[in-house]
Structure 1
Amino acid sequence: MPTTDPRVDAYIANAAEFAQPILSHLREVIHAACPEVKETIKWSMPCFDYHGILCNFAAFKQHCAFGFWKAELLLAQEDDKGKEAMGQFGRITSVKDLPSKKVLTAYVKKAMTLNEAGVKVARPKAAPRELVVPDYFIAALEENPAAYEVFNNFSTSAKREYCDWLTEAKTEATRDKRMAQAVEWIAEGKKRNWKYENC
């Protein structure tokens, strides 16, 4: 008897009518190939765990998506339709859009072997976003030496919170109001979200 999660039952039941047979088919193939798989919900979609995340699927308004966590090690690059939609099988609108049960089973078994062996996929780290302090903010800080010194001693993330707050202002009046508040708080040694730090 497969280990199912009632939240996955609800997810399939609440999916669009075209999606229900697709999701049910995928679920059946996954459980048949990997009887020890555990269902859960992660990132608001059904995920299947076996010694770590194995695969997941999702239903959208007009298509479904299905993918393996370690797809780079499972599918040939030319077979990966990840550019068309989430997952590796493109926009799935019917069971016919999926590989055969035999091919899907082979993918699941290979994914199981990778997870059992603890194989990791090297995921590229995003380059840190460069901190850009607007000239008008530097000028305002320089007028208050205490604030200027405190700001220069803040971490990059603390500086970025203030800069983002200012640059996201829709009008110059809002920006100027925020800037005056920012200089006051910084002079007092307060980070942008200081009110929530001790909550």
Structure 2
Amino acid sequence: MARDPRIDAYIERAAPFAQPILTRVRELVHEACPQVEETIKWGMPTFVHAGGILCGMAAFKQHASFGFWKHALVVGDGSPRDGMGSYGKMVTIKDLPPKKTLLAHVKKAMKLNEDGVKAPVRKSAPKPPPQAPDDLVAALKKDKAAQATFDGFPPGCKREYIEWIVEAKREDTRAKRLAQAVEWMAEGKRRNWKYENC
């Protein structure tokens, strides 16, 4: 069982409540996967098997966490983790799942790595289409060229103009930005046209 001395040091530096949690998790990972390799990734103890990350653990000021790299596939419910590892925030050793459960999860994670299964890609929800404020809608109605340009923009380009206008702190600044936006759109320009490659 190869041990990385950096992980020993990490556990020693952890808050006293976290030390038994981290020690227990480490022992169970080694028990389930004797050939596991230890390393430090992103400043946290990480366990590697069959060329891929198996799981990792971390200690924070008020809690510890432990999570599988392929959480949704290992834990089996198909849900993404909430950012606090596979078992949530842990403050005592009692917060760990039963030994049998944790060992089964480690073995499942091992098999996924051995079979070359990739971690599912998390897709972020698309942003809703941007809603133009009333003053922009009214200004565009008065300028057909600007309206045509705005209508032809993809959502991201529309959003850049809308956010620039609505983020103005003062009314006079907003009015200037609105006039400038209509002028640029009438010329077929995107909001950040000055910075685009010609």
TM-score in same-fold range (> 0.5):
yes
Residue 106 in 1 paired to residue 98 in 2? no
Q: Which runs of 5+ in 1 are unaligned?
A: none
The 5 A counterparts of 1:21-170 are 21-34=20-33, 35-37=35-37, 39-42=39-42, 47-50=46-49, 51-75=51-75, 86-117=84-115, 118=117, 121=120, 126-170=125-169
- Please tell me whether the aligned partners of residues 19 and 93 of structure 1 are also in contact (alpha carbons under 8 angstroms): yes
The amino acid across from 1:65 in the alignment is: S
Could you say what the CA RMSD is over the residues aligned between the two structures, in angstroms? 3.8
Q: Distance in 2 between matches of 1:14 and 1:171?
A: 50
- Please tell me whether the aligned partners of residues 166 and 178 of structure 1 are also in contact (alpha carbons under 8 angstroms): yes
Q: 1:89 to 1:154 in 2, by over 3 A?
A: same
How far apart are 1:37 and its partner, in Å?
A: 4.0
What SS does the corresponding residue of 2:88 show, helix, strand or coil? Answer: coil
How far apart are 1:189 and its partner, in Å?
A: 3.8
Q: 1:163 to 1:30 in 2, by over 3 A?
A: farther
What SS does the corresponding residue of 2:181 show, helix, strand or coil? Answer: helix
What SS does the corresponding residue of 1:65 show, helix, strand or coil? Answer: strand
- Please tell me whether the aligned partners of residues 2 and 31 of structure 1 are also in contact (alpha carbons under 8 angstroms): no
What SS does the corresponding residue of 1:192 show, helix, strand or coil? Answer: coil
Task: Report Cα offsets for 1:111-132 as digits up to 9, x if no partner.
Answer: 1112322166586662542332
Q: Distance in 2 between matches of 1:9 and 1:187?
A: 64
How far apart are 1:92 and its partner, in Å?
A: 0.5
The amino acid across from 2:161 in the alignment is: Y
The amino acid across from 2:69 in the alignment is: W
Task: Report Cα offsets for 1:158-192 as digits up to 9, x if no partner.
Answer: 11222233334445444334323333443444433
What SS does the corresponding residue of 1:74 show, helix, strand or coil? Answer: helix
Q: 1:165 to 1:66 in 2, by over 3 A?
A: farther
What SS does the corresponding residue of 2:132 show, helix, strand or coil? Answer: coil
- Please tell me whether the aligned partners of residues 40 and 49 of structure 1 are also in contact (alpha carbons under 8 angstroms): no
Q: 1:102 to 1:183 in 2, by over 3 A?
A: same
Q: 1:170 to 1:39 in 2, by over 3 A?
A: farther
How far apart are 1:33 and its partner, in Å?
A: 3.5
- Please tell me whether the aligned partners of residues 151 and 159 of structure 1 are also in contact (alpha carbons under 8 angstroms): yes
How far apart are 1:93 and its partner, in Å?
A: 0.7
Q: Counterpart in 2 of 1:181? A: 180
What SS does the corresponding residue of 2:146 show, helix, strand or coil? Answer: helix
Task: Report Cα offsets for 1:60-91 as digits up to 9, x if no partner.
Answer: 331122222333443365xx9x67x7233232
